[in-house]
Chain A
Amino acid sequence: MTTTAAPRLDAEPAARFSDLIAAERIKLTSLRSTRWGVLFSAVVVIAMNANAAFADYRNWPTYPAGIRASFVPDWAVGDAFQAGAAMVTILAAGTIGALAITSDYASGLARTTFAAVPARSSVVLAKATVLTAVLLVFGVVVAGGSFAASQSILAGRGINVALDHPGVLRGVVASALLAPVCGLAGLAIGAVVRHTAATIVTTVAALLLFPALLQDRRHLTATILHAQPYGAWGSLRGLDSQHLMPYPATPLGSFLVYGSWALAAVLVAALAVRRRDL
């Protein structure tokens, strides 16, 4: 019936996942808001950590002997990875992940995308792949930049730690991985909720608010806290307070928490987009 059509395009090539990755990469990087959001967040996070180091550098002469004795490594590591900076990282990565999918739904572009690629789960897997890559670069730059900036400031007083100090590299890796884990969580929530504002509220509540409500003094709440990305990050950073905690988490367990969140998020996102009307 349709043989009379004169196709000017080549016959259809086999479907490749890498084509979807290319498409999602174009979609993510062609938005000014993504580029500025990533850049701005990175600057803020590094600046917050550098500022903490600068405060300690300035106040060092006034510190009592007790603090001076424990400054390396705990305080020095703390300056590299401030809790507030981690929260900004979570907020930025979670929002970027959420917007990666809700902006498609909000604009109606999802219809155009899924009409072009009916294999919806593959689209979302490609989106998750691109998001992970972008946020991994973001995380490495932010964690590495924060460590380098803070320690070079502290070096002025000779109170910096080196990367090969026990546990320090683990803290850098944990801070770098925090961004992609939270980005994927935002993506999954966005795939389920679909509305931008509701998605961001849910993401902030799940990744920031909920862990803030949990006490680490009781076994149950400490366990739940360790099972959150923010809690796992805190354990992996390995500050002094961790040694004093009644129920500390193991590094392996904390990395497993990261992995489980990422895997579960990808699964939820891939399943959520199947067969739903749009």
Chain B
Amino acid sequence: MIDVNELTKRYGKATAVDRLTFTVRPGQVTGFLGPNGAGKSTTLRLILGLHTPTAGTATVDGRPFADRPRGLRHVGALLDAADVHGGRSGYAHLRALAASNRIPRRRIDEVLAEVGLQEAARRRIGGYSLGMRQRLGIAAALLGDPPVLLFDEPLNGLDPEGVLWVRGLFRRLAAEGRTVFVSSHLMREMEHTADHLIVIGRGRLVADESLAEFASRGEGLRVTVDTPDPATLTAVVDVAGGSTVPAPDGTLTVTGLTAARVGELAFEHRILLRELTTRSASLEEAFLAQTADAVDYLAGENR
């Protein structure tokens, strides 16, 4: 559980984080979304006590993280995959971290196996690809088997297989009852990962709600459905509070309901579906619509 209360950070005149208040709960993946420069990384560093807040508080399981003498058993964090020394081997990097928190050596092999880096562990980190460094950072975050995990843009540099693996890992960690807080500036990365979203722009809270709630605001959630029985589905969707618009290609565009809900309705009423797709553009649009006034650097904007 992470509690952020009226958290504010100013660097001189610039306000990076502006009276942020939110709670990240255990047992689910919480996405931390915002455009570049919105203050996501600063917020994560404030939570970890790496930066001192100008005002407000951030606590992890009821205590400021900086008050703990050792951290790895409380919070595992991957802030930046580059926060390593290229001259050491991945194994030596993990061994030093483990030793500082008195974590047994066998645990290093466990996390290396978890992230699939056993082969490369003895090589210098300087020779790793970005994806390998992300995996090493995730291994370091898992070392202490912590109840709270923070990841700053963890999908950067991962190949499609790696992205799938990371999503599965986050879901599993959340299912184990852990608090999983993942930042991203790309809405579509969160779409298949997060249950809950905290959205910020220019350091301020924009939204704090479930993924479906967030997506259904703004432009409205759009789900593309292909069915041989559009009439029945239209009726069912109407009853459930959504609305449908037939598309030129014969499919239906449903608004006001999530893809999951449409799937449930179709199943309950034995309606065959050939396609059921959340139009990710709509999620991206919802994100853009709600953060547009909070974006620092709009392309082509006269400033």
Contacts and interface: CB of A to CB of B under 8 A. Distances in A.
Interface of A: 1-9, 12-13, 15-16, 19-20, 22-24, 26-27, 30-33, 103-104, 107-109, 111-119, 122-123, 275, 277-278
A26 B92 contact: yes
Contacts of A12: 70, 73
Interface stretch (B48-56, B186-194, B218-226, B260-268): B48-56
Given A107-B83, A109-B83, A111-B79, 13 more contacts: A2-B148, A5-B178, A7-B147, A24-B96, A30-B92, A103-B87, A104-B85, A111-B83, A112-B84, A113-B97, A116-B71, A117-B100, A118-B67
Interface string B61-89: 10001111111110101011011111111
Contact of B50 (A13, A27, A115): A115
B106 to A, nearest CB: 10
B70 A15 contact: yes
B67 A116 contact: no
A117 B75 CA distance: 11
A278 B48 CA distance: 11
Contacts of B239: none
16 contacts: A1-B1, A1-B25, A5-B178, A6-B177, A9-B104, A19-B100, A108-B82, A111-B80, A115-B48, A115-B71, A116-B140, A118-B49, A118-B70, A275-B52, A277-B45, A278-B50
B26 interface: yes
A136 B155 CA distance: 45
Most chain A beta-carbon contacts within 10 A, residue among B75, B96, B101, B104: B96
Contacts, number: 135
B100 A277 contact: no
Contacts of A277: 45, 50-52
B100 A116 contact: yes
A27 to B, nearest CB: 5
Nearest to B81: A108
A220 B175 CA distance: 71
Nearest to B143: A116
B107 A9 contact: yes
Contacts of A8: 110, 145
A104 B84 CA distance: 8
Nearest to A112: B83
Which secondary structure characterizes the binding site on chain B? loop
B100 A108 contact: no
B69 A118 contact: yes
Contact of B68 (A6, A9, A33, A118): A118
A12 B104 CA distance: 12
Contacts of B52: 275, 277
A278 B66 CA distance: 13
Nearest to B91: A30
B99 A26 contact: yes
Interface in B83-142: 83-89, 92, 95-97, 99-104, 107, 110, 140
Contacts of B66: 118
Contacts of B85: 27, 31, 103-104, 107, 109
A6 B88 CA distance: 32
A5 B82 contact: no
A27 B103 CA distance: 16
Nearest to B48: A115
Contact of A3 (B86, B97, B177): B177
B144 A9 contact: yes
B96 A115 contact: no
Nearest to B98: A23
A30 B73 contact: no
Contacts of A104: 85
B145 A13 contact: no
Interface string B213-251: 000000000000000000000000000000000000000
Q: Which 10 A-B pairs have the closest CB atoms?
A: A4-B177, A23-B100, A108-B83, A30-B92, A15-B69, A2-B147, A9-B145, A23-B99, A26-B96, A5-B177
A171 to B, nearest CB: 36
Contact of A20 (B49, B100, B179): B100
A104 to B, nearest CB: 7
Contact of A22 (B82, B83, B99): B99
B27 interface: yes
A2 B71 CA distance: 16
Contacts of A278: 50-51
B97 A23 contact: yes
Contacts of B107: 9
A13 B98 CA distance: 13
Most chain B beta-carbon contacts within 10 A, residue among A2, A32, A113: A2
